[in-house]
């Protein structure tokens, strides 16, 4: 029997009451499953939304979702400042897998408000301005993308630098009141690169040009040999844990991190 039939939705009915304890048990369960099994188990839990930034990790997850026909919505956040290569990859991925990627964009008045206050590229001038830009262009659209979700699926991986080293396979996001699942948390970059190559997964050409982590164009640079994977993100800021805030609320053990922390 195909895996996607073996792990059917009615296996988890009635739906468990999700929370930190359930997330911990789920993390243990997911650790025992191969990647396709993980995605099918996740889809069986309820309304799951996978947010992709079209990076290597997310592209591998998309390929697994397509191959297993796991019932997840795939969404991406178009901040208005993405690389042309990233935008082109949305269509290429949809075409290759016959899937639809929902695109969420920032509200124009929110962006206009940021620009009026700080200037179009004011994020270079202060951490406050940078967080305001990420809020308008990323966090606000993310909130709409996750509005009806019970499960949020990400491509976080522990080997990424910053504050992701302890990312669990599953955690409870108390602020958003949903399960946050990171099916690649325990995967290595090398494993995913090999899988992408073997499965002919379309990847962003910027990876081959020194961009292991790709976000908005003005806030991402190529890294030098030996630098951490995310060193090219907001490189002018000093906080080594710097992120855009998407992955702030459900840090280790489901507690809120104290400093701005993706993308």
Binding positions: 133-134, 216, 219
Q: Smallest distance from the beta carbon of 74 to ligand SF4, in angstroms?
A: 21
Q: State which H helix or E strand residue 103 sits in.
A: strand 102-104
Q: Smallest distance from the beta carbon of 133 to ligand SF4, in angstroms?
A: 3
Q: Which is nearer to ligand SF4, 130 or 180 (CB)?
A: 130
Catalytic residue numbers read 244
Considering just the CA atoms, what is the radius of gyration of the chain in Å?
Answer: 18
Q: Smallest distance from the beta carbon of 41 to ligand SF4, in angstroms?
A: 32
Is residue 215 near ligand SF4 by the rule CB under 6 A? yes
Question: 14: cis peptide before it, omega within 30°?
Answer: yes
Q: Which is nearer to ligand SF4, 97 or 234 (CB)?
A: 234
Q: Which is nearer to ligand SF4, 143 or 218 (CB)?
A: 218
Instruction: Please say whether the dihedral angle defined by the alpha carbons of residues 112, 116, 119 and 125, taken in this order, is positive or negative.
Output: negative
Which of 98, 101, 25 lies closest to 58, judged by CA? Answer: 101
Stretch that binds ligand SF4, among 38-46, 49-57, 63-71, 133-141 (CB under 6 A): 133-141
Q: Which of 244, 246, 248, 250 binds ligand SF4 (CB under 6 A)?
A: 244
| DSSP line for 157-189 | -TTSSSTTTT--SEEEETTTTEEEE-TTTT--H
Which of 171, 199, 157, 176 lies closest to 36, judged by CA? Answer: 199
Is residue 216 near ligand SF4 by the rule CB under 6 A? yes
Is residue 262 near ligand SF4 by the rule CB under 6 A? no
Q: Smallest distance from the beta carbon of 240 to ligand SF4, in angstroms?
A: 17
Beta-carbon contacts of residue 44 (< 8 Å; ≥ 6 apart): 7, 8, 9, 11, 12
Beta partners for 216? 82
Stretch that binds ligand SF4, among 34-42, 50-58, 134-142, 155-163 (CB under 6 A): 134-142
Q: Which of 219, 223, 250, 261 binds ligand SF4 (CB under 6 A)?
A: 219
Instruction: Give φ, ψ of 80 to 5 degrees.
Output: 90, -5
Residue positions in the annotated binding site for [4Fe-4S] cluster? 133-134, 216, 219
User: Distance (Å, rounded) from C-alpha 37 to C-alpha 161?
Assistant: 27
Is residue 141 near ligand SF4 by the rule CB under 6 A? no
Q: Smallest distance from the beta carbon of 263 to ligand SF4, in angstroms?
A: 6
Positions touching ligand SF4 (CB under 6 A) are 79, 81, 123, 130, 133-134, 137-138, 215-216, 218-219, 244, 263
């Amino acid at each position: 029997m195909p895996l996607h039939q073996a792990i059917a939705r009615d296996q988890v009915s009635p739906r468990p009451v999700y929370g930190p304890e359930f997330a911990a048990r789920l993390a243990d369960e997911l650790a025992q499953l191969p990647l396709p099994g993980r995605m099918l188990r996740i889809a069986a839990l309820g309304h799951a939304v996978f947010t992709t930034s079209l990076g290597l990790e997310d592209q591998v997850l998309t390929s697994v979702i397509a191959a297993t026909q796991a019932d997840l919505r795939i969404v991406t956040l178009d901040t208005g400042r993405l690389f042309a290569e990233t935008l082109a990859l949305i269509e290429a991925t949809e075409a290759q897998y016959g899937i639809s990627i929902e695109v969420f964009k920032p509200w124009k008045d929110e962006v206009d408000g940021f620009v009026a206050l700080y200037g179009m590229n004011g994020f270079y001038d202060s951490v406050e301005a940078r967080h305001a830009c990420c809020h308008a262009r990323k966090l606000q659209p993310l909130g709409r993308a996750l509005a009806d979700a019970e499960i949020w699926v990400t491509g976080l991986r522990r080997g990424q630098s910053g504050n992701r080293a302890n990312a669990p396979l599953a955690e409870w996001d108390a602020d958003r009141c949903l399960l946050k699942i990171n099916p690649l948390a325990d995967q290595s970059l090398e494993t995913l690169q090999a899988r992408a190559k073997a499965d002919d997964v379309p990847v962003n050409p910027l990876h081959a040009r020194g961009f292991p982590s790709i976000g908005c164009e003005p806030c991402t640079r190529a890294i030098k040999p030996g630098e951490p994977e995310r060193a090219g993100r907001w490189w002018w800021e000093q906080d080594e844990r710097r992120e855009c805030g998407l992955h702030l609320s459900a840090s280790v053990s489901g507690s809120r991190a104290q400093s701005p922390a993706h993308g």
